[in-house]
Chain A
Amino acid sequence: MQYAPTMSRDALIDLAINRYFAQVDAKNLEGVLGCFHDEALMCVQTAFTRHSGKAEIGRMFADFFGAYQTIVHKDFTCTVDAKHGRIAASFEAVLTGHDGSITRLFNTNFWRVRSSDTVGKFQEVYVYMSGVNPLV
């Protein structure tokens, strides 16, 4: 699906990296959910897992935040299609468990951004993971 493009390249990168992932790493649930439309869809394609709507996405992130002591996303390489309101990024996720164990994932996310009242938010998010899916 394609949404009317209204955001610049820099604005799309800012939304995905500085607003979304920064809030995930800070475990700021309200900040994370502020990046999504109410009826957004988030799919982990490599695990055939679907979270539909802000309530389901919020429940998933609450569990995710509780499952790890620290969450770090870093080393982003962004691919930006501003003409179509899409952005993809590869990155490393470093998840440290409460027992000190460390899980490293090398993932790729795709975001489709729809603007409403001039504010761009995620309408669809697709995650492809290099390992076991922790977003359940």
Chain B
Amino acid sequence: MSSWTEGGAGQAALRYPHYVDIVTKRYFDGVDNKAMLQVLDCFTEDAILTEVTSMTVHDGKAAIAAMFTKLFTDFSDIWHGNFVHTVDPESNAVCSQFTVLITPHGGDELRYENCNRFYLKGDKFHRVYVYMSGDNLLKEGDA
């Protein structure tokens, strides 16, 4: 798999449920419950997460962890739901649309209608692209 590309040929297709489960039951469940280890376990070591609407790039697991540390600190409540998935085992990818309800400490609840594109390498996220319907909440970590 040395010539890995996003959704490229030559990847091993996983079972259909794997793609839905890693997005909902593992990744976003971990985000909503601020379970950092559960979240990070979904990524390869050299994964890159990009927030496209602000072109903010988090390169590597450490940078992704720093970003989530800030997110978990800055917001008291986080909820992702109303998912619709486009699952493509043949290209080892899943694209998901969803609603986000998120509340900053001491502030009012914000509603976003976002999408993520997840490209897997093996059975974990290797490239993730996030589109947000409002200001970017996935800022660089302070660490």
Contact = CB atoms under 8 A, between A and B. Distances in A.
Contacts of A130: 52-53, 55, 131
Interface of B is mostly: strand
A77 B88 CA distance: 12
A90 B86 contact: no
Given A78-B7, A79-B7, A129-B53, A9 B90 contact: yes
Interface stretch (A23-31, A32-40, A58-66, A81-89): A81-89
B53 to A, nearest CB: 6
A60 B16 CA distance: 37
A90 B132 contact: no
A86 B83 CA distance: 14
Nearest to B92: A79
Interface in A17-53: 45-48
Contacts, number: 73
B55 to A, nearest CB: 7
A119 B104 CA distance: 47
Contact of B94 (A47, A79, A83, A106): A79
A80 interface: yes
Interface string B41-63: 00000000000110100000000
A78 B86 CA distance: 10
Given A46-B53, A46-B133, A81 B117 contact: no
Contact of A80 (B6, B88, B115, B129): B88
A43 to B, nearest CB: 8
A110 B131 contact: no
Contacts of A70: none
B14 interface: no
Contacts of A77: 6-7
**What size tier do the contact residues of chain B reach?**
20 to 34
Interface of A is mostly: strand
Interface in B77-112: 84-88, 90-91, 93-95, 97
A81 B115 contact: no
Interface in B1-47: 6-7, 16
B50 to A, nearest CB: 10
Interface of B: 6-7, 16, 52-53, 55, 84-88, 90-91, 93-95, 97, 113-115, 117, 129, 131-133
23 contacts: A45-B114, A45-B131, A48-B113, A48-B133, A78-B91, A79-B86, A79-B94, A79-B117, A80-B88, A80-B90, A81-B85, A81-B86, A83-B16, A83-B87, A88-B95, A108-B95, A108-B129, A110-B84, A110-B95, A110-B115, A126-B115, A128-B53, A129-B131
